Amino acid sequence: MNLLFVCDPLSSFHIEKDSTFTMMREAQRRGHVVWACTTSDLQWQSGARVSASAKQITLTGHASDWHAVVAQDVKALSDMDAVLMRKDPPFDNEYFYATHLLSQAEREGARVFNRPQALREHPEKLALMAFAEFASPTLVTRSPQAIRDFHAQHQDIILKPLDGMGGMGIFRVKADGLNLGAIMESLNRDGSTSVMVQKFLPDITKGDKRVLVIGGQAVPFALARIPQGNEVRGNLAAGGKGVAQPLSERDWQIAKAMGPVLADRGLLLVGLDIIGDCLTEVNVTSPTCFREITDQTGFDVPAMFIDALEHALADPP
């Protein structure tokens, strides 16, 4: 099969930890043809199908020069067997426009994973609100007073921007309220920008767990991203230490309840973020941690993903 990965520039990959790379490697191992492009390579001309200036690549097995370009051509996305949207956040306007081009490609017959409509309808910070029974106390608002009221109620809170990634822009405010005003000025901008506010969960010291759900089924191991030093953020990009561990009973409960629902909505791959017993985020754009879980446990996450992709392609759209 011909698989097109819509991803970040190949030159930016860190293959020692990149989940998209592990997908490509497993796909090539099975004999599939790997193509790659960026969102800026997508184009749609009136009277024509959505296409991309794409590179056919082969993985070399070398750490530094890890791929070679076999061919380069403008390909209609509907001529590919599958299109995998693996562009990293942020979900900005250009990402949004790319999902609309991918939706048009679907109308032309392309099979896109995750489905672009599902990407648009599941903002990673907001998607958890539809599963409130599993979430920590959470508020999304533009109101500075509502934020102050939430703090008064819960005393110890986390504030984060809705478009953040990798732990960017996350603040903790304890019971003394120190710097709450300054933080709101930075994130909320006098009520002009929506902010997510959550009750602080002390279990963060045990890790912010990434639970991967593929084709509606949970990977049996999570990656607990454990904050280091005085840091409150467990994100690997913020210096957290990743430790793979079996899913807890609560992790399984959340994943089994949410997995089939999200899969039915067109989300082949989802990353659930869980602290203690509480769901904190639902990641759908480009979930990671394949490499870390596989390396530490021996469970082949990329193989599970390509299995699910092949199964999905075997079913009619």
Element (H, E) at 56: strand 51-59
- 188 an active-site residue? no
Catalytic-role residue among 125, 199, 209, 291:
125
Catalytic-role residue among 233, 235, 251, 291:
233
Nearest CA to 49 out of 79, 29, 72, 14 is that of 79
- 233 an active-site residue? yes
- 73 an active-site residue? no
- 310 an active-site residue? no
Phi-psi region of 197 (alpha: psi -120 to 50; beta: other; left: phi over 0): beta
- 273 an active-site residue? yes
Question: Which runs of consecutive H residues, i.e. helices, occur in 64-168?
Answer: 93-107, 116-121, 144-154
Assess contact for 147 and 141: CB atoms under 8 A.
yes
Place of tokens 């304890």: 174
Strand 195-199 relative to strand 138-141, pairing = antiparallel
What Å distances lie between residue 162 and 91, 93, 169, 174, 309, CA to CA? Answer: 10, 14, 10, 21, 29
Q: Quick one: DSSP state of residue 132? A: T
- 225 an active-site residue? yes
Catalytic-role residue among 225, 235, 291, 292:
225
CA distance 176 to 171: 14
Assess contact for 102 and 109: CB atoms under 8 A.
no
Catalytic-role residue among 18, 124, 251, 273:
273
Catalytic-role residue among 188, 210, 291, 292:
210
Catalytic-role residue among 18, 208, 251, 281:
281
Q: What is the DSSP string of 236-286?
A: GGGTPEEEEEEPPHHHHHHHHHHHHHHHHTT-SEEEEEEETTEEEEEE-SS
Exposure string for 161-188, b = 16+ CB within 10 A, e = fewer: bbbbbbbebbbebeeeeeebeebbeebb
- 55 an active-site residue? no
Catalytic-role residue among 114, 188, 235, 283:
283
Catalytic-role residue among 160, 199, 209, 291:
160
- 114 an active-site residue? no
Tokens of 229: 């030093």
CA distance 155 to 148: 10
Q: Which residues are catalytic?
A: 125, 160, 210, 225, 233, 273, 281, 283
